[in-house]
Every structure is written in C-alpha cells, then in structure tokens.
Amino acid sequence: MTVVTVEEGELLGVTGLRCPLRCCILFTSRDYHSFCQVQHASKQITADKQYKGIIDCVVRIPKEQGVLSFWRGNLANVIRYFPTQALNFAFKDKYKQIFLGGVDKRTQFWRYFAGNLASGGAAGATSLCFVYPLDFARTRLAADVGKAGAEREFRGLGDCLVKIYKSDGIRGLYQGFNVSVQGIIIYRAAYFGIYDTAKGMLPDPKNTHIFISWMIAQSVTAVAGLTSYPFDTVRRRMMMQSGRKGVSSTGAEDTDVGMAHGHPCLPLKMAIC
C-alpha cells in the first residue's frame, strides 16, 4: 500500500484537509499550555487568578474572556505555519545534501543517523530566523487576557508587532530567540532525524503501511516534544518580557519554576499533529 509520507503530506496540503479539526483542537491546546507556561510572568494574571489546570482553564476562558479567546493569536499561527513547513523541508533537503552526501545508510548507520539529526536541527534553526516574530506575537496575544478594549494590551496581530517594535525595536520581537534556537534544534533533530532514520531502515520505505508510518510519527513526535518542552517554557517566559521597562532576563535561570506547566496538553497536541 502506497501512502503519502509526512513530508509529502505537509507540502501537498494534506494538513489542510484536517485544518478545521487542527485549528479547533490543536490551537486550543496550545492556548492552554501557553497560558500555563507564561501566567507567572503575566502582569495581567495576578497570583489569585492563575489557572490551576486544564479543566479550570477551559472553563474560565469562555466565562471571563469569551469563546473567541480560545483562538486569540491564531491568525499569527496560521500565517506562520505554512512558510515554516515549506522552509523546514526546503532547508532540510539542502542540509541533507551537505551532511549525508555519499553516506551509505546500511554500512554507515551511525553517520547516517547523525546526518539526519544535523540536517533536521539545522533546517529548524534556519527557518526560525524568518518566522520567529509571528511565533512571538502568537504567544503574546494568546496570553493577553481580558474581554476587550482597555482590559487587553494589544488589539491584534499588527498592533502587537508595532507596539513591541516601537518599545524595544527589532530585538524585542526576537526576545528568547537564543533559547528557541536551542529548543528547535533539539526538536527538529529528533523529529526529522529519528523519523527519517527509522523510515529509511524499513525494507520498502515508500510502500510502508499507513499504521506503521503513523506509529513511527507518533513515537518520534512524543520523544521530540518531551525533550524540547523545557526550552519552549523558557522562551515563552522570555517573550513575555518584551515591552516592559525594567524587566529583563538573561536566560533560563529566571524561569526554572513551573518548567513543565501546560504539559498535560502535549499528548493531545501530538496525537493530531
């Protein structure tokens, strides 16, 4: 049985067929884990109003902010998603030519494995340079609690980018970028590296049963997500500091508490990716 690979599916728009479900569930789960990751650093969420867990968050958001708040920041996410995927796969192919040129996967397995890790990590880091401001805006908008108007810090995507740029310059839009690069290298290295290696070692990779491909993809996504999640927490905490005078952080030492906040939604996110 011939199936479309993960790479081909993303580029051919197969993801678009599941877009309504993905947007509804995946972004809502991201919205929740973003809240839990950054609520300690949010000036709008006082200690007595912090979310206690996924149920508390899901129940309180529509009551306090309206149902549409589940999708606040989703425009930035949608705009970011497609160029990110295209850049990832384009750069990955280029880096694979560099790292895997002349490598025999059967006789040089560890070099083949290391080359896949390196090409995936390098591709993710390179792509991040182009789309990071959109990811930054998505995080700030998702964490911008309030009903509307004066209660919120930003009116929308454009307003968020403009205000942060005026306040902190281009550097403000890349707050947490260094940590993000470390995290994305680990995530993409595991995601692409392990997946490509596992598929490449199958007897007939292009005709693998869809269930086997799905199991490999889920296992790889789980490993990649669990490994890189602490970096995601740190970078989001650092994102929350842009535009605030007198508040700064130089690294992970200021964000060591609550490193895994929001992690219960990770299995849900992985299952539909």
pLDDT digits (tens, 9 = 90+) for 118-162: 888 888 889 999 999 998 998 888 877 766 666 788 888 899 999
Q: What's the CATH number where 20 sits?
A: 1.50.40.10
Residue 178 lies in a domain: yes
Residue 40 lies in a domain: yes
Percent of the chain with pLDDT over 70: 70
Radius of gyration of the CA atoms of the chain, in A: 19
Distance of CA 206 to the CA centre of its chain: 28
d(CA 271, CA 51) in angstroms, rounded, equals 24
Q: Which residue has the tokens 């539909």?
A: 272
pTM score, whole prediction: 0.67
Residue 56 lies in a domain: yes
Q: Given this model, what pLDDT does residue 267 score?
A: 45
Residue 86 pLDDT class (50, 70, 90 cuts): confident
Q: What is the mean pLDDT of the chain?
A: 74
pLDDT exceeds cutoff 50 at 23: no
Q: Which residue has the tokens 């605030």?
A: 244
- Rounded to 10 degrees, the C-alpha dihedral 87/93/95/101 comes to 180
Q: Given this model, what pLDDT does residue 269 score?
A: 45
47-59: average pLDDT:
77
Residue 265 lies in a domain: yes
Higher pLDDT residue, 55 or 46?
55
Scanning the chain, the segments in alpha helix (DSSP H) are 6-12, 14-17, 19-21, 27-38, 54-65, 74-99, 109-142, 157-168, 170-173, 177-188, 195-200, 210-239, 266-271
pLDDT digits (tens, 9 = 90+) for 228-245: 888 888 888 888 887 766
Looking at the structure of the chain, the number of domains it has is: 1
81-91: average pLDDT:
86
Residue 53 lies in a domain: yes
Q: Given this model, what pLDDT does residue 72 score?
A: 79
11-24: average pLDDT:
39
Q: Given this model, what pLDDT does residue 210 score?
A: 86
Residue 1 lies in a domain: no
Residue 138 lies in a domain: yes
Q: Which domain, by its residues, includes 245?
A: 6-271
Residue 11 pLDDT class (50, 70, 90 cuts): very low
Smallest Cα–Cα separation from 179: which of 121, 243, 250? 250
pLDDT digits (tens, 9 = 90+) for 164-218: 999 999 999 999 999 998 888 888 787 777 887 887 778 787 787 888 888 888 8
Residue 40 pLDDT class (50, 70, 90 cuts): low
Q: Given this model, what pLDDT does residue 70 score?
A: 79
